[in-house]
Structure 1
């Protein structure tokens, strides 16, 4: 059916439209009840009868698209020479009711890092009608077996296995995407932050982590030439600040709720949101704990990091505390694709895209 193909075309192209359906017919009309047409800002597929009736439907549909109307409407048209419209008369003699259903552009979310928290977040967001992008530099995190829990997803899931420089994916995301940065590697997180604030196409940028981590990131992002306004586009810690708990599932619920709030309030991709980051704490300031503030301040343990990969028979050796390994040096030396190249851990680079 042409109208079904049109809806798919709009969805794939992330374009808004309106589905027009003939609800009922009284008397004579050019099409029967159930006939459908799809209207976009610059195109029309199929027909509900042509003439004044169709012209009215197209005109109103395009006004709905321009105004961002999200609620369906019913349009009644009398097909009589006694009822002239701006598009002429249509003297079939009947009356037609049309249902105009908005086809909005669905939200898009990119999760960078599909470890414990990332997978829990993916499972929650998969129940929403969204475009869900899963990005990880570790092939073992994106295997079909591990992602099988998303087989019944309502969302359209796009998997990005990027062994080298996952920050390059940022430039490939649809305009208006909400980026959530929660990888296993703080150097990778920092590179992603740098790439994210260098594009105007993202709706929001959220970072998981502690205040100590954010203090280091702010300093390095500034050294890399980013303005204070650009850095302020990053929200950290991401999630609901008053929801306690550090378990991956709790953090995921918190982040998912934060995202759902922004699906309806996020600014357009070409405008920067107002600064929402937490200020750098001073010696006398102690920010309230957040479910996404990682256990950086606590003594590291093998399980004290929500960002780590799910254990496997041969788990990759990702340290839970960046200061305890060479990864910390990588974070301090390179946090963006514009700095000297990172030398990624072998476990990340052996996988193929």
Structure 2
């Protein structure tokens, strides 16, 4: 894959992003951001022109004023460099178990984030939306059996329609190993699960690695509110592991 890497080389005054921020423009799309708005649109147009005409590098400065329809008041110098044989960067593996209302909200919120590679699992294909861009959809009649083969470095969100499946997934993941896990449910559900998982032979310290409830209680219980809280927690948890790939 060939692309144009756009980097904020220098800045002066008030600007939307700092020096070092990057984005990548390819024939297939874009990754990252240099701040959005008219500046980013013009930079993308320049990058696509470079892809078409074969230029390998350039640098250009934009004042962020009325001509761009931006009122930051500073200026940004962008460097453009052609990059060949690119491989798409991969994020932390995130497995989402369940395609109900909360599962859909979480995937819709997190799929655009470059920090995660999402695998979305449910027992029935008709529970998934028709379009799932940037997500690997896996219908699985026996979800706990699939969990036993999940990558040990993956993060998991357990959100199925069944408490018994949720429990079986927790058991399978505790047996397999994981980077992080969250379970939807109440404090009462989690107390019962802790007792049952202990009876299945799991150590208390390992059981407590599963977060339950998930989300930020201050944001409420609406599916989208839960999704925002979950996304914030996962971004924080994986920040050191993945880093900010856009600069």
Q: TM-score, normalised by structure 1?
A: 0.43
Q: 1:115 aligns with which of 100, 118, 130?
A: 100
Q: Which runs of 4+ in 1 moved over 2 A?
A: 101-105, 171-175, 240-243
From the superposition, tell whether residues 266 and 180 of structure 1 become closer, same or farther in structure 2 (CA, over 3 Å): farther
The structure that has the greater radius of gyration is 1
From the superposition, tell whether residues 207 and 133 of structure 1 become closer, same or farther in structure 2 (CA, over 3 Å): same
From the superposition, tell whether residues 102 and 241 of structure 1 become closer, same or farther in structure 2 (CA, over 3 Å): farther
CA-atom RMSD in angstroms: 3.2
Q: 2:198 aligns with which of 222, 243, 254?
A: 222
Deviation at 1:194, TM superposition (A): 0.6
Instruction: Determine the C-alpha separation between the residues in 1 that align with 2:97 and 2:111.
Output: 15
Partner of 1:264: 239
Q: TM-score, normalised by structure 2?
A: 0.59
Q: Give 1 or 2: higher strand fraction.
A: 2
Within 5 Å, which residues of 2 pair with 1:280-299? Answer: none
Q: 1:177 aligns with which of 144, 154, 162?
A: 154
List runs of 5+ in structure 2 lacking aligned partners. 4-54, 58-82, 243-247
Aligned length: 168
Partner of 2:172: 195
SS in 2 for 1:263: helix
List runs of 5+ in structure 1 lacking aligned partners. 4-32, 36-98, 268-353
- Contact 2:118/2:135 (CA < 8 Å) preserved in 1? yes
SS in 2 for 1:147: coil
1:231 aligns with 2:207: yes
- Contact 1:133/1:159 (CA < 8 Å) preserved in 2? yes
